[in-house]
Amino acid sequence: MRARFSFLALLLLAGALLPLGGCGFRPLYGESGAAGGATTVSRLSEIEVVVAENTIGRELKYNLLDSLSADGNTPVSPLYRLILQPRGYTQNVAIQQDAAVTRANFVLVVPFTLNSTATGKPIFKSTARARSSYNRVESEFANLSASQDAQKRVAEAVAADIKLQVSVFFDRQASQDGAIVQ
Label the pairing between strands 101-116 and 80-84.
antiparallel
Rounded CA-CA distance 64/72 in Å is 8
Report domain extents, the chain: 29-177
CA–CA dist 38, 42 (Å, integer): 6
Helix then strand then coil, in percent of the chain rounded to 5, is 45, 25, 30
pLDDT tens-digit series, residues 1-48: 666 667 777 777 766 666 665 555 555 555 554 444 568 888 998 999
Residue 38 to residue 47: CA distance in whole angstroms: 14
pLDDT tens digit sequence for 85-135? 999 999 888 777 777 778 899 999 999 999 999 999 999 999 999 999 998
The 8-class DSSP code of residue 101 comes to: E
Class of domain 29-177: alpha beta
Q: Which of 128, 115, 118, 123 is nearest to 48 (CA)?
A: 115
> Is 146 in a helix, a strand, or coil?
helix
Q: Report pTM.
A: 0.77
CA distance 176 to 129: 28
pLDDT of residue 52: 92
